[in-house]
Structure 1
Amino acid sequence: MSDMKPKGTWVQTERKAHEAWAVLIGTKPKAAQLMHLLVANMDKSGAVVVSQKVLAEMMGVTTMTIKRAVKVLKDENWLDVSRVGSERGGVNAYLVNRRVAWADKRENQRFAAFDARIILSAAEQDQETLEGGKPPLRQLPQLGETQLPTGDGIDPPSQPSLEGLEPDLPAIVRDPDGNEWEVNQETGEMQRRIGG
């Protein structure tokens, strides 16, 4: 469980929140435990998206215990809960009350928009993805990568190249008669290669 926590982060809490948390530990210990778990895993905006099944796995309890604990925390204004997806297949976004705990500058708390840290268990993911059975995602070249010509390629454009974006690799094509053709750098059209 410790490897799921954000690395190099911190949270702050109000003294009054600690006093209330101490009371919560005595009266509703599972709700207090869940609150600690959510605060430990929230992002800097105080949000975490996770299913109740995963929370139950993390705490070693049943999902009914999680549901009861969430109800307590919501009713007593420890956190706000928003559903992401349908009632049956969705997850909850938990937003910790900023007067209880926060992980960002105090002045940034006035903004309502937030990103969330999302936690998934292996059971919630596609097994083919986990086992590496799917082909890798398509990747585009990054700025600075070198172009490597391979294969026959595609026909050159029928219009002149944009200024500054001229082809950097000459394409030489041989027709059935043995003549060599190349792209005219100014017009972008094919021309017979001279000296070839």
Structure 2
Amino acid sequence: MRVQKNGNLDPNSITFEERQKQIEQEERMEKEDWEKSKKSPFKNFVQMNKDYYKAEDWLMAKSPIAYRIFKFLINNMDGYNAVVCSQTVLQEQFDVSRVTVSRAIKLLKEKKYIDIFKSGTSNVYAVNKQIAWNSWGSNYRYAKFEANIILSESEQEESVKAKIRTVKHKEIILDEE
């Protein structure tokens, strides 16, 4: 497609005004799709591959803390299966030592439950899309990360600590009716 000032008989060209209208319409449609997805009753759903339930059971038996960290990552991952947080966040979340977190993360990585990407000194944890997925399954081929970032209050400067509200992840148990 070519964009030019004046329209002509070339079927592959459009005017600047026509292209501007196309762009505005695409932006409106994207915004509408975003608004619909925010209201979707499925926005908090995660898809799980049933073939991996045995692997999940194995992980639960092998290392309960690794299993809990894995579930924490799944619960907090974005639409690209990624979340950014420090090991301090995981230490504080689960009230365990740095060594315990390191061992659990190492196990998750070795057994391919997660991949770890570096962004400066931060870790981007990406849950294996073959196990769990947090969207319709069409985004996982992209190397784009709009990761949810989880901060630890203890890692922040004093001036920042006053501005943030700490919310600790809580386990909720539903009684069967």
TM-score by length of 2: 0.64
1:99 and 2:130 correspond: yes
SS in 1 for 2:115: strand
Corresponding residue number in structure 1 for 2:93: 58
Query: Partners in 2 of 1:107 and 1:51 — Cα distance?
Result: 28
- Matched residue, 2:157: 126
Q: How far apart are 1:83 and its partner, in Å?
A: 2.5
Comparing both chains, which one has the higher relative contact order based on Cα–Cα distances under 8 Å and sequence gaps of 6 or more? Answer: 2
> Separation in 1 of the partners of 2:136 and 2:57?
25
One-letter amino acid of the counterpart of residue 100, structure 2 = T
The 2-side partners of 1:68 and 1:15 are apart by 26
Partner of 2:59: 24
Query: Is the aligned partner of 1:115 residue 2:150?
Result: no
Task: Identify, as 1 or 2, the structure richer in helix.
Answer: 2
Q: Spell out the pairing of 1:1-196 with structure 2 (5 A cutoff).
A: 8-85=43-120, 90-131=121-162
Assess if the C-alpha contact under 8 Å between 1:51 and 1:91 holds in 2: yes
Is this contact kept in 2: 1:52–1:91, CA < 8 A? no
The aligned amino acid for 2:85 is V
- State, as a whole percentage, how many aligned pairs show the same letter: 36
Stretches of 4+ aligned residues off by more than 4 angstroms: none
Question: Per-residue displacement from partner, 1:100-154 (whole Å, max 9, x unpaired)?
Answer: 111111122222222110010112223213335xxxxxxxxxxxxxxxxxxxxxx
| CA deviation after TM superposition for structure 1 residue 59, in Å | 1.1
Offset from partner CA, 1:37-95 (integer Å, 9 cap, x none): 1111111110000000111111111111110011111111111012232xxxx221101
Q: TM-score, normalised by structure 1?
A: 0.58
Structure 2: runs of 5 or more not aligned: 1-42, 164-177
Task: Give ranges in structure 1 of 5+ residues lacking alignment.
Answer: 1-7, 133-196
Alpha-carbon RMSD:
1.4
Q: Which amino acid aligns with 2:50?
A: R
| Secondary structure in 1 matching 2:144 | coil
Match of 1:151 in 2: none
